[in-house]
Structure 1
Amino acid sequence: MAADRVRRQILGVLGAWGMPSDLAETTAEAMVETDLMGIDSHGLSMLMMYEGMRRAGQLDLSARPKVELDAAATALVDGGANLGHPVAVFAMRLAVEKAKAAGIGAVGVRNSHHFGAAGHYARMASSAGVIGFITSSARTVLMVPTRGVMPLLGANPIAFAAPALRHRPFVLDISTTTVAANKVKVYDLNNKPIPGGWVVDAAGEPVTDSARAMEIIFKEPGGGVTPLGGTEVTGGHKGYGLGVMVQILSATLTGAAFGPIRNRTQRPDEPDNVGHFFLAIDPKAFRPAGGFSEELDAMIDVLRETPASDAAKPVLVAGDPEAAERARRLEAGIPVPPALEGHIRDICGRCGARYELSDD
């Protein structure tokens, strides 16, 4: 599916839902870029979840970001219970602006919702010539702690980007869970089994059936997605600890919600109060004479020149797979499985948007 067609579809649905055109453009741009980079879990397919949130009354799609606290190098922004993409773009730009003026800029966000792939906002920072670091709390409580069987945290993503000169920026975009829950959704939409170790049931046993995994994640009280590194203490506790760190930065620091506490009293129509944290660092604040990007280029050269275990598969640097997939999908199009096409057609039917994914 051509990227422009996917963009038109997203814009059509968001417009039918009442989102102002400029906010819809910002949201659609983030979602399409995510799909182009092969992160199908956070692009077009998210309209399914967003429709449910809208129907429950959780979203205010007309809300605009509002600065609540503002200082030379820091700010706190309220997302107004809109989707997270517009406030995330606003906050990242504000953090970059502060970094250019003060050397460093840190912006917290509260009262937001799902904002897509964190790497999208990290790339905004590197495109502006600064280092970007982003964290976010999450809507769905799904991470099973080390040695536990009841989920306590969300996927709680982290993204980091640094600008180079000759090379693409170094971009790391990870979940603190073994996999994001929405990636399990993609496997389910494609009727494919998930790898063992991604999801465990209430007894701590691995689950590979993607449909069953979706039930565990989104409908059942026990079981969930494993932390980055697995469920054992050797590695898994680090992923779990990383998830807690992200929760502290994104939510405890900003006044956003912690899922297990929020879920005790939250009504179905109440916003999720997701929190985000955006940090921008201007290398010139630490190296006035320059040289940061040049040295990063040299570092990337060394990484790429490392002998590969398979000559047909060169050593990768963070951001390479997404860049390669983006180039491929710009040429070949974004894959949209039949099950997802059906869901989007149904959404269009319910909201009155034109169905753009076929020529019918």
Structure 2
Amino acid sequence: MKTRNNNSALVSFEELKCFIRNILVQAGLPGDDADKVATLMARADLQGSDGHGVIRLPQYVKRIRAGGINTKPDIKVVRERAAMAVVDGDNAMGHLAVSYAAELAIEKARQTGVAWVGTRRSNHAGPASLYAGMPIKHGMIGVYFAVGNANHLPPWGGAEMLLSTNPIAIGVPAGKEAPIVLDMATTVAAYGKVKAKAKRGEMMPEGWMIDRQGRPLLDPNRADEGFLLPIGGHKGYGLALMVGILAGRLHGAAMGRDVVDFNKDHTTPTNTGQAILAIDLAAFGDPALFAAEIDSLIQDIRNSEKLPGTERIWLPGEQSHARRLEYQRSGIPISGGVVRELSILADELKVEPLRGVEDTR
């Protein structure tokens, strides 16, 4: 793949998906499972969530090769009532376990109006917005919680990292407008963004991390020397704690000292927990009227009075939607550091490398 001085290249969604699938098949995943995981990973990059897309592929392969991922899992429901279920992922790729949970939540919500499905014995599954967005296609609101796959956050005022980035995502259908999709870590930045900065050879902005003396930590390659900061100070710490309880402890998944750092440990099952809540709009009223009202709200916010120097007021998820449209036209940018790592992986597994085109932007 050719690159310029900006050390990035452009690939199409289909090429990226095919490459990821081929790598996963060579690593040991069955074809259908590899296809589902590859589709979700490529969608992450397509929407600009580059900390959770193909950048994670070498790490996933390491875990598969080391036995840390079950390539032939028996994903199943282990607890169930009309409007809830707990899914045992059997240490599968997280994308498979969470997709299973989301599909089940949608199916149940059609009958009960609201349904909660949680996972245990799952794994890292990519950006939260992928799963909060799944119910939208079925006329539902989606709410997603997850326990992060490594602890990067101490309790407020503490120095021992007992919590993770523990993300929240909420997807709300609209009509003519793009859906509103909030996807946020309970830390100022997700750890995937730290990894992406390191791959691109960039420094972190002040306010993402501090070292153990409380000083700003700007070099992503020194991330192990400090920890991420919570959003809103003690309020973000409280959110991380509660999300961990809802997504982890509630389903018998890991939290606190039980969380396995999958960045360093490739063999120990992570027992990751996630939860998806599906809310069927039809249970609350006319979905078309709701969508029209959301459109009106979006337009009111977008067209409201702006502060000096502000060009546009964005809605949550709007920039990801814009990137998705742009990348569908021009290709998905992959940084030079990731390109090099993927080329090495392709060579090891005897897979055709990414070709792409030169990024001249």
Asked if 1:164 is matched to 2:161, the reply is no
Name the CA distance, whole Å, in 2 between partners of 1:289 and 1:322: 24
User: What amino acid maps onto 2:250 in structure 1?
Assistant: L
Distance 1:40 1:27 in 2: 15
For residues 124-157 of structure 1, give each alpha carbon's deviation from its aligned partner in whole angstroms, at most 9, with x where no partner exists: 1111100110000121111133222221111111
Q: Which amino acid aligns with 1:224?
A: F
What's 1:66 paired with? 76
1:145 matched residue in structure 2: 155
> How far apart are residue 179 of structure 1 and its match?
0.6
* Secondary structure in 2 matching 1:133: strand
Q: Is the counterpart of residue 293 in structure 1 residue 296 in structure 2?
A: no
Hey, what does 2:230 align to over in structure 1?
A: 227
- Output the CA distance in 2 between the equivalents of 1:204 and 1:52: 33
Say which structure is richer in strand. Answer: 2
Deviates more, 1:80-89 or 1:305-314: 305-314
Structure 2 residue ranges without an equivalent (≥5):
1-10
- How many residue pairs get matched? 345
8 Å contact from structure 2 (residues 175, 288) kept in 1: no
What TM-score do you get using the length of structure 2 for normalisation?
0.90
Q: Distance in 1 between the 2:36 and 2:49 partners? A: 18
CA contact (8 A) 1:149 1:204 kept: no
Q: 2:46 aligns with which of 30, 36, 44?
A: 36
SS of equivalent residue, structure 2 residue 34: helix
SS of the aligned residue for 1:93 comes to helix
Correspondences of 1:113-262 after superposition (within 5 Å): 113-213=123-223, 215-216=224-225, 223-229=226-232, 236-262=233-259
Instruction: Pick closer, same or farther for the CA change 1:26–1:189 going to 2, 3 Å.
Output: same
Quote the Cα distance in structure 1 between the aligned partners of 2:51 and 2:256: 21
Aligned residue for 2:105, secondary structure, equals helix
Q: For 1:14 and 1:289, locate their aligned partners in 2 and report how far apart those are by CA, in whole Å.
A: 39
Which SS does the other structure have where 1:224 is aligned? strand
Runs of 4+ aligned residues of structure 1 deviating over 3 Å after TM superposition are 261-264
Letter in 2 for 1:46: R
1:104–1:279: 8 Å Cα contact kept in structure 2?
yes
Verify the 8 A CA contact 2:154 2:163 in the aligned structure 1.
yes
- Residue 8 (structure 1) aligned with residue 18 (structure 2): yes
Larger mean CA deviation between 244-253 and 278-287 belongs to 278-287
Partners of 2:344 and 2:317 lie apart in 1 by: 35
Q: Take 2:265 and 2:335, find their aligned partners in 1: how far apart are those partners?
A: 34
Query: Partner of 2:111: helix, strand, or coil?
Result: helix
Give the structure 2 partner of residue 281 of structure 1: 279
Q: Distance in 1 between matches of 2:250 and 2:14?
A: 38
Percent sequence identity is 34
Tell me which residue corresponds to 1:220.
Answer: none
Shift of 1:332: 1.7
Cα distance in 1 for residues equivalent to 2:31 and 2:311: 43
The answer to whether 1:94 aligns with 2:104 is yes
Deviation at 1:93, TM superposition (A): 1.1
Contact map agreement 2:120 2:252 (CA 8 A) in 1:
yes
Supply the distance in 1 between the matched residues of 2:115 and 2:293 (Cα, whole angstroms): 23
1:288, CA displacement in angstroms? 5.7
Q: Is the 8 A contact 2:123 2:271 kept in 1?
A: yes
SS across alignment from 1:70: strand
Of 28, 36, 49, the residue aligned with 1:18 is 28
Contact 2:152 2:165 survives alignment (8 Å): yes
In the alignment, residue 253 of structure 2 is paired with which amino acid? Answer: A
Other structure's SS at 1:40 match: coil
Q: 2: CA distance between counterparts of 1:184 and 1:290?
A: 40
Could you tell me which residue of structure 1 aligns to residue 55 of structure 2? 45
